[in-house]
Amino acid sequence: MQTSRQDVKAPVTGRDSPLRAVVLVGFMGAGKTSVGRELGQHLGWRFVDLDDRIQARERCTVAEIFRSSGEEEFRRAEHDALRELLNQVAGERLVIAVGGGAFARPENIALLEKSMAMTIFLDASADELWRRCGEDPAERPLRRDEVEFRQLYESRRARYLEAKVHIDTAGKQVSDIAKEIASSLRLKQSSGKEK
């Protein structure tokens, strides 16, 4: 599937651009962190991985939060971290990668809409996502078995499709995906950090 430009209001590039945050959403294995880091470097914007922020705030890993407190406690911490981060958007430009379940929660979608962040859905087939997750050494609490993985993917996909831009990542290099996002939003590569 090609990039969807429906609902995308092309941002003005440069310091006067109204676009302050690009938020990458999608299922586990979609490449949100890798693409986000690359996109941040490409644009000269700060990259923030929401899971890293949660781990710093909670002083334990995502997997440890799931094990010790359960998914609902993790989702509360995730919402709090996202709200706090979006409050900073007025001060700088950010590329944000959120966890696979963040954009499946109405309260987080409401925060993102209120902040006027540009949401980008990084998509791939369930087969490819399962394979990518299997190659990644990171512990993923919700990757139990393939049937549950596929069911979770299908249950969340309709929410992901509510993002303003849809990028198919299948078979693409991280740098190419980052350039495709920048191009679809008409954002130019920065020669230096913009604040």
Q: Among candidates 118, 107, 100, which has minimal Cα distance to 156?
A: 100
Domains of the chain: 21-184 (3.40.50.300)
Please give the Cα distance from 68 to 21 (Å, whole number).
32
Strand partners, 122: 167
What are the pLDDT digits (tens) for 84-142?
Answer: 998 877 678 899 999 999 999 999 999 999 888 899 999 999 998 888 877 765 666 55
Q: In what order do the strands lie in the sheet with 118-123?
A: 46-49, 94-97, 21-25, 118-123, 165-168
The confidence score (pLDDT) of residue 193 equals 42
Under a CB-based contact definition with an 8 Å cutoff, are residues 189 and 43 in contact? Answer: yes
In the predicted structure, residue 176 carries a pLDDT above the cut 60: yes
What are the pLDDT digits (tens) for 10-52?
Answer: 343 444 556 889 999 999 889 999 999 999 999 999 999 999 9
Please give the Cα distance from 28 to 30 (Å, whole number).
6
The confidence score (pLDDT) of residue 142 equals 54
Radius of gyration, CA atoms only, the chain: 16
Strand partners, 78: none
pTM: 0.83
Lowest mean pLDDT among 127-136, 154-163, 185-194: 185-194
Average pLDDT over residues 154-165: 94
Please give the Cα distance from 22 to 30 (Å, whole number).
16
The confidence score (pLDDT) of residue 14 equals 45
The confidence score (pLDDT) of residue 6 equals 37
The confidence score (pLDDT) of residue 19 equals 82
E strand spans, 74-145: 94-97, 118-123
